[in-house]
Amino acid sequence: MNAPGTVEGQPCPPGAAPLAAVDDLQVGVVGDHVEVVAGVPIRRDDPNLCGHFPGFPVFPGVFIVEALVQAVDIALRNPGRPRLRLCSVDTVRFLAPLLPPDRLTLDIVATGDGPDRWTVTASGRRDDGTVTVTLRARFDGGDADEPTATGTEPSTGAAGGGLAHHQIRALLPQRYPLLLVDRVLTMTPGSRIEAVKTVTATEPCYRDLTDDAPPGDYAYPASLLVESLGQTAALLWLADADGPVGDDHVLMFVGARDFAFDGAAYPGDVLRHTVHLERVIADTAFATGETYVGDRRIARVGTLMAARRPRTALTVETATSRTAGVPTDRGPSRHGAARLRQSSAGKADLS
C-alpha cells in the first residue's frame, strides 16, 4: 500500500475507467485499519455528463462507486500485486445529488481481511457538509480472470417482446457515452426483462490504456456494468409505467444491497442482463437481477432501487443545502487530519 501521507498529483486510475475520478488522495494508518480521504471533482465539462442527462448534468451514482474503486486500489494495493478488484457492494445508499460544480469528499475506512483482501466502509459529503452517499464493499487482490472467447452472439432482432435501440432511446433519458443498453431481447412488462450490451475495444473507458497494458486491465469497469444493469431495470419499469421519463424528471439510482461480482467482461464479450421487477411504490422501483457472459454469471444483485424525481426538486435541494450548509474543508475533517498526522509515526503491516 502507499505510505501514509498525500499522493502527489492527480492519481491515474488503474486499468479501464470511464473517468479519472480522484484528484487528490490522503492515506493514513490507524491501529489495524487504513483511512483514506479522496477528493472527487464534479466537472461540468466531463463528457460523461453530456449523456447523464442532456441539458441537466447529474453525476451518476455509479461514478461514486468508481471513485471508491480507484481510491482503494491506489491507496491499498501492494507493489507488484494485481489490482484490487471490487468483489461486492454489500449496501449503498445515495442520499443527495451531485451537480456541477459540486465536489465530493469520500471518507474511507479499510480493514484487512487477509492478504490483499479488504472490507471497506465509506461515506461521501459535498463541500456544504451534506452527506451524499454511504456504502460498504469488499475488495480482493487475487489474480483477475483472463479474457476468453465466449462464442456468444447478440440477437439480430427485437422480436418476441423485445426493443430495438431506437425504442430504448425513446424510453431512457441517458445518451452517449452513458446509454449502456444495446437491445432488449425479451420483456414481460412489470415482471421480467432480458437485455444485452456489447463491450467493444473502442469504449471510452479504454482510451487511456497503453499497448503494453496487461490483459486484466481491459476488464470492463464494475461501475459501468452496474449502470448497464440498472438501465435494463429502468426499461422494465418504464415499459409498465406511463412511458418515458419526460423532460421534467430524471431517473436516479438510489441504492442497492448484496451486489456481488463473480467475474469480469472484456472487449468482444456480450453482457446479458436478466432483471425481475419486485415491486413499485409510488415513484420508486425495486428489482433484482443477474449479468452473464455466455453461460458464465459475472454479477448479481439482491436489491436494486431506482426513483423518478422532478428536476426542480434536485435543483432546489442542492441550492438550499449550498446556502444553508456550513462549508467544509476539501481535505479530511479536523478529526481525520489529526488521525492522519498520528499515523505518520509508523506504518502498520496489514499484508
Task: Using pLDDT thresholds of 50, 70 and 90, give the confidence band for residue 264.
Answer: very high
Distances (CA, A) of 133 to 121, 268, 341: 11, 33, 26
Q: What is the pLDDT of residue 308?
A: 87
pLDDT of residue 1: 60
Work out the mean pLDDT of the chain and round it to a whole number.
Answer: 85
The number of beta carbons lying within 10 Å of the beta carbon of residue 11 is: 20
pLDDT (tens digit, 9 = 90+) per residue, 54-78?
A: 889 999 999 999 999 999 999 998 8
For residue 320, is it within any domain? yes
pLDDT tens, residue by residue, 95-149: 999 999 999 999 999 999 988 899 999 999 999 999 999 999 999 986 656 566 5
Domain residues for 313? 5-342
Domain presence at residue 348: no
pLDDT above 50: residue 340: no
CATH number at residue 309: 3.10.129.110
Residue 138 lies in a domain: yes
Q: Is residue 115 part of a domain?
A: yes
Residue 180, classified by CB atoms within 10 Å of its CB into exposed (0-12), middle (13-18) or buried (19+), is buried
Q: In a 3-state reduction of DSSP, which class is residue 218?
A: helix
* Amino acid sitting at position 54: P
Please state the rounded mean pLDDT for residues 159-186: 90
Query: What pTM does this model have?
Result: 0.82
Q: What is the pLDDT of residues 175-223, one digit of tens each?
A: 999 999 999 999 998 899 999 999 999 999 999 999 999 999 999 999 9
Residue 265 lies in a domain: yes
More confident residue, 195 or 245: 195
Q: What is the pLDDT of residue 251?
A: 84
Q: What are residue 252's DSSP bridge partners?
A: 307
In angstroms, rounded to a whole number, what is the distance separating the alpha carbons of residues 83 and 140? 9
In a domain? residue 350: no
Nearest to 134 by CA among 104, 90, 92, 86: 92
The answer to whether residue 349 sits within a structural domain is no
Number of domains in the chain: 1
To the nearest 10 degrees (0 to 180), the angle between helices 61-76 and 222-240 is 160
Look up residue 123 and give its three cell numbers. 461515506
Is 329 inside a domain boundary? yes
What are the phi and psi torsion angles at 173 (to 5°)?
-85, -15
Q: Check residues 115 and 157 and name the one with the higher pLDDT.
A: 115
